[in-house]
Amino acid sequence: MAGLLLASSGGALLAGLPPVSAQSAPAPAITRQSFVAEAVKRTGPAVVTIDTERTVVVPGGALVSPFPFNDPRLRQFFGLPPGGGTTRIPPSQRTERGQGSGVLYDASGLLLTNAHVVEGSTRVMVGLPDGRRVEGKVVGSDDVTDLAVVRLSGPGPWPVAALGDSDALQVGEWVIAVGNPFGLDQTVTFGIVSSLNRNAAALGITDKRLQLIQTDAAINPGNSGGPLLNADGEVIGINTLVRSGPGAGLGFAIPVNQARSVAEQLVTSGKVSHAMVGVALEPVRNGSGAKVRSVMPAGPAARAGVQAGDVIVAAAGQAVADPAALIQVVSRHGVGRPLRLELERDGRTLEVSVTPVELSTLMKR
């Protein structure tokens, strides 16, 4: 039976069968490339660093005691006028520096970032991954959505990131955060979409109108204004904040569909219109709809007869699942046009017509 099975460096030989060549069954090709690397390769060149400077005025007026400043040498050291007596310190200025991220979305040199990144800035410098540093001008910013548009100086050419569709996102999808946390350029982290339509008010942010994308992708200081990408490398959100303390590790991004709409308004008119009807809302327990917690006196809802305790179940013919859904309908409907609301009150169904007004109008009252 010798020769039926032999061991050799070339492999096993079976009696009656020809030898098998080592090259006839090649090993599968091994690649180190991943969808994350491909996504960042497509969009990374358009992710920028934003360095800002702002001048802060320190008010004067503090009174300096005569003692020990009656010593001429001390008065000279502290820049005080000669002589004794009480001296009033003059106002002074100091320069504060900040840093954030942004993403170029238009070939003309327009980029999206957070409003809080460029707020009050007297100078904006933008650093591109290719090493260029150019000055930027704030086209407009909107505190309510924490979004701003900056235009780069010079003719370019500028790399551009593709904007995706945040309405198509699903919980559990892969997402990638790109930005410059702590000044570390082109830092990439990834995770999943943890939740959608997370109301900013539920996070204790009461001065914003945002329905946020929640993610477990690491977002840190300096990531603000950078993009959140989907697996195809499209921008589906603008990173805005991270939860610190209890619940740390939760990151949030502004959906790109909202960012796109805000950017268009900022470029066109330098400001953003926010429609409001003048109600405070809360979820309905064990049901759908938006329950009216309170009504602003003399506001559109009050004039239309809406009362605290009403449950708004439909707006403009669309079912309202929760307060976030109603806010979206009102925002998209706009200012100055009647909006039909369907209410439930004491077991009855009512219809009212409200005309949304600009948020700033209500806030001045």
**DSSP state at residue 182:** G
What is the rounded CA–CA span in Å between residue 322 and residue 198?
12
pLDDT of residue 153: 94
| Rounded mean pLDDT, 254-264 | 94
Between 353 and 247, the higher pLDDT residue: 353
Please give the pLDDT value at position 34. 87
* pLDDT (tens digit per residue) in 303-328: 999 999 999 999 999 999 988 889 88
Q: Would you call 232 a catalytic residue per the annotation? A: no
Report whether pLDDT(44) > 70. Answer: yes
Residue type, 24: S
The pLDDT score that the predictor gives to residue 17 is: 44
- Report the alpha-carbon distance of residue 227 to residue 255 in Å, rounded: 10
Cα dist from 68 to 73, 82, 84, 153, whole Å:
11, 13, 10, 53
Mean predicted lDDT score pLDDT of the chain? 84
Does this model's pTM top 0.95? My answer is no
Query: In this structure, are residues 340 and 317 in contact, taking their beta carbons and an 8 Å threshold?
Result: yes
Output phi, psi for 8, to 5 deg.
-150, 170
What percentage of the chain reaches a pLDDT higher than 70? Answer: 79
Confidence tier at 14 by pLDDT (50, 70, 90)? very low
Residues in the chain: 365
- pLDDT tier, 357 (very low <50, low <70, confident <90, very high otherwise): very high
* CB distance 50 to 101 below 8 Å: yes
**DSSP E strand stretches across 62-186:** 63-64, 87-88, 92-106, 110-113, 123-127, 133-142, 147-152, 174-179
Read off the tokens for 232: 């195809």
Is 116 among the residues known to form the active site?
yes
> What's residue 79's pLDDT?
67
pLDDT tens digit string along 145-168? 999 999 999 888 999 999 999 999
Among the listed residues 101, 121, 166, 224, the single catalytic one is 224
Give the integer Cα–Cα distance in Å for 163 and 142.
Answer: 20
Annotated active-site residue in 146, 166, 274, 322 = 146
Q: Which entry of 101, 116, 121, 274 is annotated as an active-site residue?
A: 116
Q: What is the mean pLDDT of residues 239-259?
A: 80
pLDDT at 199: 77
Residue 73: per-residue pLDDT: 74
Report the C-alpha gap between 263 and 269 in whole angstroms.
10
pLDDT, tens only, 21-39: 445 556 555 566 789 999 9
- Phi first, then psi: what are they for 362, rounded to 5°? -70, -35
Tens of pLDDT, residue by residue over 197-224, are 887 777 777 677 788 999 999 888 888 8
Res 343: pLDDT: 95
Antiparallel, parallel or unpaired: β 279-283 and 311-315: unpaired
Structure confidence by residue, pLDDT tens digits, 64-76: 555 555 667 766 7
